[in-house]
Amino acid sequence: MTKTAVSTTINGDAAEFLCETGETLLDVLRDRLDLTGSKEGCGTGDCGACSVMLDGRLVCSCLVLGVEAQGRAVETIEGMAEGETLHPLQQKFLEHAALQCGVCTPGFLVAAKALLEVNDDPSESQVRYWLAGNLCRCTGYDKIVRAVLDTAKDMRSARA
Amino acid sequence: MIKTKFKLVGTRPLRPDGVDKVTGRARFGADISAPGMLHALILRSPHAHARIKSIDTSRAEKLPGVKAVVTRDDFKLPEREDLVDICRNVMAREKALYDGHAVAAVAAVSKTVAREALKRIQVEYQVLPHVTDVDAAMKPRAPILHKGMRTIGAEPAAKKDSNVAQIHTFGHGDVVKGFAKADIIIERSFKTEATHQGYIEPHACLATYGADDRADLWCCTQGHYMVRNACAGLLGMEVSHLRVTASEIGGGFGGKTTVFIEPVALALSRKAGKPVKLVMSRDEVFRASGPTSSSSTDVKIGITKKGKITAAQAILRYQGGAFPGSPVQFGAMTGFAPYDLENVHTVGYDVVANRPKQAAYRAPGAPLAAFAIESVIDELAHKIGMDPLEFRLKNAAREGTKSSYGPTFGPIGLEATLKESKKHPHHLAPLGPNQGRGVACGFWFNFGGQTSVSLNIGEDGTVSVVEGNPDIGGSRASMCLMAAEELGVPYEKVRTVIADTASLGYNEVTDGSRVTFAVGMATIKAARQAIAIMCERAAKIWDIPAEAVVWEDGCAKPAGSNAGNFKPMTLAEIAGSAGSTGGPISGHSEATADGAGVSFATHMVDVEVDPDTGKVTVLRYTVFQDAGKAIHPAYVEGQFQGGAAQGVGWAINEEYIYGEDGRLQNPGFLDYRIPVASDLPMIDTVILEIPNPGHPYGVRGVGETSIVPPLAAIANAVSEAAGVRLTHLPMSPPRVLKAMMENGKGAA
Ligand code: FES
Ligand code: FES
């Protein structure tokens, strides 16, 4: 099967890969670039475990083709911490014990970060609806929602 | 002696594997690859019940890039009886028994080639009549799944083939006499549909089988020793020749306590001589892993006018999929466990049907029984105008009660959870129109079992705990806490790792809410053994008897007549000089853990029912549960909340829907909808601590009890809000609306 060459940017760095035209961006990230932080929970856009940012937009990478990344910027969970320093959301998820098995966590973090970028003062129900595309089977969402609300509060007071 | 004063246990430090899991670095089942690795896919039966007349794989084998194909011919039926059904489930033999049953598998250089190869495998099926409903499967003329299957426990002995694999009975007293004494008797029938554990990570593994017949397997599982044991048995290997490493695990809830794809990957790797990666799709997880039973239950309970139960009886029928082993006996054992009963009798029918073989799901079997029984309890309380909590308190099991399944209870926390719920603000809060409040109790046994732990003191005074149970919800943090507590060192000085099967003795599966109890106890014992060794070393240095040394605050101290004579030695100092005092210092515990403490919970929930659509919204939820001792309270709360949320899904949304053709209609998260964040409120928790005398810190298991009460608690709340008793789960909008209409309720 012939492959297509794709040039893209991943977490700020230029990246190139060859992929089959039918391969999803998620497959490319995981199987070709060894960025396995994004997870496949369903492959059909229903669980959000594969959430990444594509040109600043939150997407399910299992619903994007690898070739669609050509010339665009992809951000994944691997790019969220700055070196040794965790993103405030990552830190709050740990403090609130917002993960049990942790397989949904990368997707929730990417999605929650996207929320706080457009709304730094979300209500509980805004958080719940924004995250409704991310499934977690372990936590019942309580601690996840608290962690996001608490991060937003801290980020606001840091800015004030 | 149960320890009651703690420095670290009961605090909430960050989990040691946390950074890996928030940065994407943690490696789950599908997250590793090997050089030269092949990709495998499984061909599955599209029929619910069919004779497999022939399988022709020749066209697939000829496709360039295909390296191995396996079918039933590659699996010999094992001699070990406990593996026969597993073998038949892993790869269909003479018949496919459910939609999704594996029929063949291929390994190829890419997923694309593997997909193409599947299309080239020709299977000739002779479609047979099928049955998926539990009551239908028990009918005299139902299609029989297994020729020669006779009901075990039938009286008189069964003379004909049947889909009823076994009948279990429990109880004591005389229910006939008990019912004769009753003033009020309520008798009702209930049904529940099958659900799936719904772990977000599909099953995944990487198998590497060498020409020397030694193999390595990496997989996501709740128990890698179980995987080793089963795979070795199915492939005819010796257990030591197969090393299994457990990946991080993305949820299990009981669903990863058996093997599905692992033996297939090993067989392919053996045939191809290359590493093979096999990952289930979500569709396969739904169709071909192990969902729960569906059930049909009749309950009859009699009480006096004053609210004392005189007799209680239940007949439970659980279909457990294509093979025997539904958890109906657990339903029959647990359903009446919260009550102190003079006369109780339960009968459980284990039924097979053309569905995937069920697997455990959190307190397997118990939520279904609790749904039926706690619904009748609720109705009886209302009938005599008694508060449902008061009614339960009046009949509650206590220390000394002979349980409905036989043993007599030691100290238990049911009464405490009921009393706590009575005075909680939730109980006193007002309700609006179309709203209802429900309560229910739940029970689970909990388990101990074979456990092996090593604890190594590093030369710089840091500590590693080596255990063999995959960390599914923060258990590494609990082990670090218990080890640090015993040793008197900071939490951060301890690291807990999960060893592979070659590195530690046998460990039972992460199930039965056993890990914090059994592995925790082993960790404490291993730490105590290391402490004894460290005291000996200090004694040697000081040249005093070992008995004259005590361990306090992370130091060996001279005691008795020697007290104050020598400067205490820290753990790090003793570790640093270990080379000259006798060598490396480690503690071990290898034992079968007895003394698991049962756990009870009471749940309280408020719902609102939309009279136009029948949609149920959960407004408020509070869990009251006895944890014995909460080692890391945040993760105990997490277990309570997670169980409650899964219960909400089971009660109002989730169900396996089969078509007339016996095929699963909704094998995806879009149509099998588990609760999302916007479906739920915050879930409040109240942790009670009635110590379990069987554990040095009083720990009871907590993971499973939390899913026992919600089905009933929500049904009780919905029944109040809708003004009609709901007896069929899930209480989806059409079902609720229909029940309301039939009873003249709801908006016409
Ligand atoms: S894997 Fe992409 S949404 Fe589930
Ligand atoms: S923590 Fe396990 S799925 Fe969310």
The DSSP line for B146-185 is STT---BT-SSPP-S--SEEEEEEEEES-HHHHHHT-SEE
Residues B620 and B651 in one domain: yes
Residue B212 CB neighbour total at 10 angstroms: 7
**For residues A105 and A99, what is the distance between their CA atoms, to the nearest angstrom?**
7
Give the count of domains, chain B. 3
Among the bound ligands, the one closest to the CA of B198: 2
Q: How confident is the model at residue A159 (pLDDT cuts 50, 70, 90)?
A: confident
Q: How confident is the model at residue B745 (pLDDT cuts 50, 70, 90)?
A: confident
| Domain of B459, in residue numbers | 448-593
Residues B529 and B427 in one domain: no
Backbone angles phi, psi at B15, to 5 degrees: -75, 145
**For residues A103 and A48, what is the distance between their CA atoms, to the nearest angstrom?**
11
Residue B552 CB neighbour total at 10 angstroms: 10
Query: Integer distance in angstroms from the first to the last C-alpha of chain B?
Result: 64
Residues B473 and B489 in one domain: yes
CA dist B479 → B240, B457, B466, B572, B691 (Å): 27, 15, 10, 20, 18
Task: For residue B580, tell me if it sits in a domain.
Answer: yes
Domains contained in chain A, CATH given: 4-79 (3.10.20.30), 88-159 (1.10.150.120)
Q: How confident is the model at residue A1 (pLDDT cuts 50, 70, 90)?
A: low
**For residues B577 and B460, what is the distance between their CA atoms, to the nearest angstrom?**
10
The answer, yes or no, to whether any atom of ligand 1 lies below 6 A from the CB of A110, is no
Residues B353 and B422 in one domain: yes
Q: Is residue B473 scored above 90 in pLDDT?
A: no
Q: What is the pLDDT of residues B171-214, one digit of tens each?
A: 999 999 999 999 999 999 999 999 999 999 999 999 999 999 99
Residues B456 and B575 in one domain: yes
Residues B304 and B276 in one domain: no
- Token pair for B493: 């000085």
- Token pair for B42: 């499984």
- Whether chain A has a CB inside 8 Å of the CB on B703: the answer is no
Q: Report which residue type is found at B21.
A: K
- Whether chain A has a CB inside 8 Å of the CB on B646: the answer is yes
CATH number at residue B417: 3.30.365.10
Q: Is residue B52 scored above 60 in pLDDT?
A: yes
Q: Are B584 and B578 in contact (CB under 8 A)?
A: yes
CA dist B545 → B487, B536, B540 (Å): 21, 8, 8
pTM above 0.95, yes or no: yes
Task: For residue B616, tell me if it sits in a domain.
Answer: yes
Beta B599-609 vs B616-626: how paired, if at all? antiparallel
Q: How confident is the model at residue B484 (pLDDT cuts 50, 70, 90)?
A: very high
Number of helices (H) and strands (E) in chain A: give both, helices first: 5, 5
**Mean of all residue pLDDT scores within chain B:** 97
Point out the domain boundary residue: B593, B628, B645: B593
Residues B238 and B341 in one domain: no
Closest by Cβ to A140, choosing from B33, B279, B680? B680
Task: For residue B263, tell me if it sits in a domain.
Answer: yes
Residue with token string 């000085």: B493
Q: Is residue B615 scored above 60 in pLDDT?
A: yes
**Can you name the residues that pair with B686 across neighbouring β-strands?**
B624
Task: For residue B196, tell me if it sits in a domain.
Answer: no
E strand intervals along B45-163: 50-56, 66-70, 95-96, 102-108, 122-127
> What is residue B744's predicted lDDT score, i.e. its pLDDT?
86
Task: For residue B145, tell me if it sits in a domain.
Answer: no
Q: Cβ–Cβ of A101/B473 closer than 8 Å?
A: yes
The answer, yes or no, to whether any atom of ligand 2 lies below 6 A from the CB of A138, is yes
State the distance from the centre of ligand 2 to the C-alpha of B646, rounded, in angstroms: 12
Among the bound ligands, the one closest to the CA of B668: 1
Instruction: Please state the rounded mean pLDDT for residues B399-428.
Output: 97
The answer, yes or no, to whether any atom of ligand 2 lies below 6 A from the CB of A9, is no
Q: In what order do the strands lie in the sheet with A13-19?
A: A13-19, A4-10, A73-75, A51-54, A57-60
**Can you name the residues that pair with B603 across neighbouring β-strands?**
B440, B623
Q: Is residue A77 scored above 90 in pLDDT?
A: yes
Chain B nearest-CA distance from A51, in A, is 12
Half-sphere exposure of B184 (CA within 13 A, CB side): 17
Query: Integer distance in angstroms from the first to the last C-alpha of chain A?
Result: 56
Task: For residue B139, tell me if it sits in a domain.
Answer: no
Residues B398 and B466 in one domain: no
Q: Report which residue type is found at B268.
A: L
State the distance from the centre of ligand 1 to the C-alpha of A62, rounded, in angstroms: 5
Point out the domain boundary residue: B593, B618, B649: B593
Closest by Cβ to A44, choosing from B25, B250, B670? B670
CATH number at residue B70: 3.90.1170.50
**For residues B263 and A62, what is the distance between their CA atoms, to the nearest angstrom?**
28
Task: For residue B517, tell me if it sits in a domain.
Answer: yes
The answer, yes or no, to whether any atom of ligand 1 lies below 6 A from the CB of A41, is yes
**Contact map slice: A 105-124 vs B, CB within 8 A:** 105-106, 109, 124
Residues B85 and B214 in one domain: yes
Residues B311 and B235 in one domain: no
Residues B577 and B606 in one domain: no
Backbone angles phi, psi at B91, to 5 degrees: -150, 120
Q: Is this prediction's ipTM beyond 0.85?
A: yes
> What is residue B747's predicted lDDT score, i.e. its pLDDT?
63
Q: What is the pLDDT of residues A12-50, one digit of tens each?
A: 999 999 999 999 999 999 999 999 999 999 999 999 999
Chain A nearest-CA distance from B125, in A, is 29
Q: Cβ–Cβ of A99/B21 closer than 8 Å?
A: yes
Residue B58 CB neighbour total at 10 angstroms: 10
Q: If you measure CA to CA, which chain B residue comes closest to A138? A: B642
Task: For residue B670, tell me if it sits in a domain.
Answer: yes
For residue B522, give the nearest of B555, B561, B483 by alpha carbon.
B483
Q: How confident is the model at residue A160 (pLDDT cuts 50, 70, 90)?
A: confident
For residue B474, give the nearest of B101, B95, B17 by alpha carbon.
B17
Beta B276-279 vs B38-44: how paired, if at all? parallel
**Contact map slice: A 63-92 vs B, CB within 8 A:** 76-78, 80-81, 86, 90
Residues B440 and B453 in one domain: no
